[in-house]
Chain A
Amino acid sequence: DTGVSQDPRHKITKRGQNVTFRCDPISEHNRLYWYRQTLGQGPEFLTYFQNEAQLEKSRLLSDRFSAERPKGSFSTLEIQRTEQGDSAMYLCASSPFAPTNTGELFFGEGSRLTVL
């Protein structure tokens, strides 16, 4: 399968614990995005990378959240000291860099976080 893959698909944790999600984008895609989606809402932008550089972060991304893409390939999203409000689906998407970029994002199936 050459699509965007995310791991784990579902994580249940207790409040206060740290969790980490991994995203492997489509191999030739330079851009990688993280979104959060809660029930009844559309995906909310969190951050994006171009290669290993984190170019933009949403105000939604509090200092408990950190994302990395150390070698410009896979990315991790870590949430420290989780809170019940962090329960959501965390989506990763990738896209090729311009000029081949048509703006389309290719999404993974998401990592669902449940904080008890």
Chain B
Amino acid sequence: AQSVSQHNHHVILSEAASLELGCNYSYGGTVNLFWYVQYPGQHLQLLLKYFSGDPLVKGIKGFEAEFIKSKFSFNLRKPSVQWSDTAEYFCAVNFPDMRFGAGTRLTVKP
């Protein structure tokens, strides 16, 4: 069955630290991949997406993600986090209906 796994439930970082959040999916076919972010008290919004082409995609606010097909992974990265990045991050895969991982709560300490 198709599924999306996020490895980290809660990540705590200090400002300026580098971030990498893991995401793996199980499905052998073609997929579209997404990262959504939910800031405290706000609705889910798109951070970045991958459809085809360059497997390294850049999103808003300095985030990027790399699609590694052989590893069924789509990890999210940011070289230097800010306090304002404190949020919950969800990996999602279009199977074609959109399925989400359980989310990773990121806390950035000032």
Residues on A lying within 8 angstroms of B by beta carbon are 3-4, 33, 35, 40-45, 48, 56, 91, 93, 102-105, 107-110
Assembled-state Cα–Cα distance A108/B36 (Å): 13
Q: Tell me the count of chain B residues lying within 8 A, CB to CB, of chain A.
A: 23
B65-109: which residues lie under 8 A (CB-CB) from chain A?
A: 90, 92, 94, 97-103
10 residue pairs, one from A and one from B, having the closest CB atoms: A42-B100, A107-B44, A109-B43, A103-B32, A107-B43, A43-B100, A42-B103, A103-B94, A42-B102, A42-B90
Question: How many A-B residue contacts, CB cutoff 8 Å?
Answer: 50
Assembled-state Cα–Cα distance A109/B32 (Å): 24
Q: Name the CB-closest residue of A to B99.
A: A45
State whether the Cβ of B25 lies closer than 8 Å to any Cβ in chain A.
Answer: no
Assembled-state Cα–Cα distance A44/B46 (Å): 17
Q: Decide if A104 touches B34 in the complex (CB within 8 Å).
A: yes
Assembled-state Cα–Cα distance A77/B105 (Å): 28
Q: Decide if A102 touches B100 in the complex (CB within 8 Å).
A: no
Assembled-state Cα–Cα distance A93/B51 (Å): 20
Task: Give, as a whole number of angstroms, the nearest-CB distance from A23 to chain B.
Answer: 12
Contact (A103, B98) CB under 8 Å given A108-B43, A109-B42, A109-B43 = yes
